[in-house]
Structure 1
Amino acid sequence: MTEHVHFEVGEKYENMKGVFEVIAIHRDSMDIRWEDGEEVSTPIALQQRIIERMRHEQELEDAQKAARTKKAKGGGASAAKPFEGVVDGDFSDSVTRTTWRGRGQLGGSLARQMKGGEFKFNSWAVMRKPEVHWLDMKRQKQSDLPLQAKFYARLEPKQLCFGFHLPRSVDAAVSDKGDWQALMTWLGKTENEDWLRELCTSLQLVVCDLTGKAFTGTIEACEGAWSHHQGDGDATAIDGLCHFLSSAAENSPVDLRIEKRLEKSAAIGKEKAIVTELASLFESLIPLYRAVAASESMSA
């Protein structure tokens, strides 16, 4: 299962030259810093191809080794098991010895359940992270949209989180012409923000920034209003989600999530029905995805 490479500022990756850190992302390129301090600008698509090829070659080598070991032990081939739900060992900060993200598991099961709509979704596992993304296949191939909106599922040691994800770069050339600005324009209409607030209230969704740089804690909806909850337990009322996000993200990268959270035991207890639970939420959030895709088609 070769993983889709999704670059994020501040994260480290490795290609044939060695380990590098992403320090800035532009529309088609990114600035990286090698471990020796050297900084260069490189095409995003090029680094994706290099890393994905390296990982594919490693997977082939690992598969060949496993096949030789099984043959030496006299073991026969066995059919891959269908997805039956997440299990205790999947809940970790690591993806070692887990298979739940694959297209033969949750990734593909959910993509198949979302067939027949206006978008054609497929899944991509995030490299070295216990997270899988679902994107429209046509949009995912667009190199001019490096920071795309997507649906996702993420496992943490104590919970499953799933919903709508939209990253934003501090580079205006990327974010102001991409999905982020499209979403802010859409949310700027009162009727759209009202709809999202009501949805978050009824489905108990929270809004958060995984980078913690634009804002910390969660934004929650209750009784017709938004409030900002932080670690001290206090909640602060905010005038509007669009205004809050636009201001918070003005000079900071954002890893925006609008998500539902299920405790570990509840997620495991749903077994394979967890696929239906995720698909139902994603269908409810489709207006957000449609908003960014529609904006793109109007500007084309």
Structure 2
Amino acid sequence: MTFYYRPLAQWGPDRPADAHDLAGGWSWFANVAVHARGEDTRIVSASDLPAAALERLTATHPEIAGMAMDRPRLMGILNVTPDSFSDGGRFADPGVAVRHAQNMMSFGADIIDIGGESTRPGAAFVPVADEIARTAPVIAAICAQSDVPISIDTRKAAVAAAAMEAGARLINDVAALTFDPEMAQTVVNSGAPVCLMHAQGDPATMQDDPRYDDVLLDVYDFLEERIALAEAAGVPRAGIVVDPGIGFGKTMDHNLTLLRGLSLFHGLGCPILLGASRKRFIGTIGGGQGASDRVSGSVAVALEGVRQGVQILRIHDTFETKQALDLAWAINGAETR
């Protein structure tokens, strides 16, 4: 039987003497929930874990794209698309896109994630040439003015390669190397880190009827398998980030289960990226007609991710998230960062 270990993460000054740092960061844990398929979850002391499992949960991660993983990092979203769910068409003009990236940097973004193909539910496929034409010039223009790292949000190897040539430093693959058979080698050739995201199905159909035996453990197993494939291709584990893929082939209940269990994914031995900003389930629960009405809910989800030790927050609302994070940091007795 396979056991999965979910640290019961906390942060703040009231830390017991037997607590362990979570992923070498700001959160800590003294107890762990043990999951197994078909079994009730049980709580055990962290000191009772197998040594290898405890090492995975506590090990400090190396830098990703020049960013230390010792504090939460803000990944500002820049969609240079006509049809993204939240900001489609707003930043299709390269000049406008560059100015928006500069604004996000001034508000505290640690990295900018640029995408040229919408992956919203029902989105259509974008040809490679069009995606490159949308993204590469913007990446080059931003890199010419700033040292803030750029991520390319794509599932296509040629788009990733063009982005790397333009100056990008992280490949954010929403298909976790499953869409393009050349992507793994492109990551290896670039020497850049890669984010592997879970998605059930293609964007055009992923929300039709998503089903899981156990969404938390199914997503974990998928990511573990994709990490192994990436390592076999030559990508070092130290250069891999994982993303459970909130909203990608998931119902609202699936999303909530994953958010409650985010700390489980530290067991994969990689930094975690959380991309829940302005997703539909936030409006379903909290109200609001459009994506721009989901800012407060997005910040609430981001702070829950930080409590559970998530290292990278992929967000639309940089200022609001940074402000909330600084306040939470101060309230919990940590230095404002």
TM-score higher than 0.5 here? no
Q: Which bin holds the TM-score, normalised by the shorter protein?
A: under 0.3
TM-score where L is the length of structure 2 = 0.25
Which protein is richer in strand relative to its size? 1
TM-score where L is the length of structure 1 = 0.27
